[in-house]
Amino acid sequence: MHEVVQDYYGRQLQGSADLKTDACCDASAVPEWLKPLLARIHPQVLSRYYGCGLVCPPLLEGCRVLDLGCGSGRDVYALAQLVGPSGSVVGVDMTAEQLAVAEQHRDYHAEQFGFDNVRFLHGYIERLEDLDLEPGSFDVIVSNCVVNLSTDKEAVLRGIHRLLKEGGEFYFSDVYADRRVPDALRTDPVLYGECLGGALYWNDFISLARSSGFIDTRLIEDRPLQITNPELAERCGNLRFFSASYRLFKLAQLESDCEDYGQAVVYRGTVVNSPHRFVLDKHHVIEAGRVFPVCGNTWRMLADTRFAEHFEFIGDFSTHYGLFEGCGGGLPFDGEAGGGADAPCC
């Protein structure tokens, strides 16, 4: 499938308008505060971008960031502005035509930003160990609708876990199915290129993430996908697809379930562009100044990461009260477009 993807994104597609579905768009629109950053990016880089939105977690200043499937470099150049001169961004892609566009405009962006803090590598996200990347050296790894295009998703996740620092996170948007995609669809070149054929069944993704070292997957937001092409819709039948953004933390002490230790946090309201509430995930929308009960895993995701200074922490791990109330299974995505709940924990 590597050849299929390279041909589809390197030669067949010339821009987002050539896509036959909206699967390559992440679950959210670009926020207003990010638009000035995109305005500083070279028009040719923007024109060769296939998708919409921007996969971008908060608090990136000074971070070392890796963008998987960076394409023409749009997200790399946006992230470069957010990490600033004390941070750096590395982009990896397997499509030479896309990387040529990204490299061609490095000097342009260095002049625009006043610093050059980016690097582009040609390679496969299933073989990150083959690239000049030091294990445990990245604060954040991002990708936008790329993992589903990989033929070995377990290798991708294991490689990501290997490259992250302790306390680092994989923050990404991708496509998932409500059931396992049949072989006939998985090998269809157009469906694969449109990010549908390679979509994981959501529960298989969670199992794969856990076996790769990411014990507690956190869903940030999601939306059902619309297959507007009648022929593709007919081929997919009753399969439902979702675009979803997840964050996976590399934290060795996370537990397999949300355990209750009687803990709580208070958000200080100090994260830039988030003065009123902090969104950790779909079920953890933490209002500033308000005591918010959390499970042990959520506590560690805030206390043992770059977010720690923005919270007050109440309690410890000395007493265990059992499973945190409200945790459960089932399809995590909304059936219709919409947001998540404000209830604490899962």
Summarised one tens digit per residue, pLDDT across range 286-302 is 999 999 999 999 999 99
Residue 4 has pLDDT above 60, yes or no: no
Checking phi first, is residue 306 left (phi over 0); if not, alpha (psi -120 to 50) or beta?
alpha
pLDDT for 114 equals 97
Question: CA 90 to CA 69: how far, in whole Å?
Answer: 11
Amino acid in position 158: R
Confidence of residue 264 (pLDDT cuts 50, 70, 90): very high
Question: CA 301 to CA 102: how far, in whole Å?
Answer: 34
In percent, the amount of the chain with pLDDT more than 70 equals 87
Question: CA 302 to CA 272: how far, in whole Å?
Answer: 16
pLDDT for 338 equals 40
Residue 69 has pLDDT above 50, yes or no: yes
Q: What is the pLDDT of residues 96-109, one digit of tens each?
A: 999 999 999 999 99
3-class secondary-structure state, position 65: strand
pLDDT for 238 equals 95
Confidence of residue 244 (pLDDT cuts 50, 70, 90): very high
3-class secondary-structure state, position 114: coil
Q: What is the pLDDT of residues 324-343, one digit of tens each?
A: 987 766 788 887 544 444 44
Confidence of residue 87 (pLDDT cuts 50, 70, 90): very high
pLDDT for 76 equals 97
Q: What is the pLDDT of residues 139-163, one digit of tens each?
A: 999 999 999 999 999 999 999 999 9
In percent, the amount of the chain with pLDDT more than 90 equals 77
Question: CA 61 to CA 52: how far, in whole Å?
Answer: 23
* C-alpha pair distances (Å), 278 with each of 55, 114, 191, 260, 266: 17, 31, 36, 21, 10
pTM of the model: 0.90
Confidence of residue 20 (pLDDT cuts 50, 70, 90): low
- Nearest alpha-carbon partner for 298 in 334, 338, 263, 274: 263
pLDDT for 54 equals 79
Question: CA 75 to CA 66: how far, in whole Å?
Answer: 10
113 CB-near residues (< 8 Å, 6+ apart): 40, 80, 81
Residue 266 has pLDDT above 80, yes or no: yes
Q: What is the pLDDT of residues 111-128, one digit of tens each?
A: 999 999 999 999 999 999
Residue 84 has pLDDT above 80, yes or no: yes
Confidence of residue 30 (pLDDT cuts 50, 70, 90): confident
Mind listing the domains of the chain with CATH numbers? 1-250 (3.40.50.150), 259-323 (3.40.5.100)
Confidence of residue 194 (pLDDT cuts 50, 70, 90): confident
Confidence of residue 55 (pLDDT cuts 50, 70, 90): confident
pLDDT for 342 equals 45
pLDDT for 29 equals 65
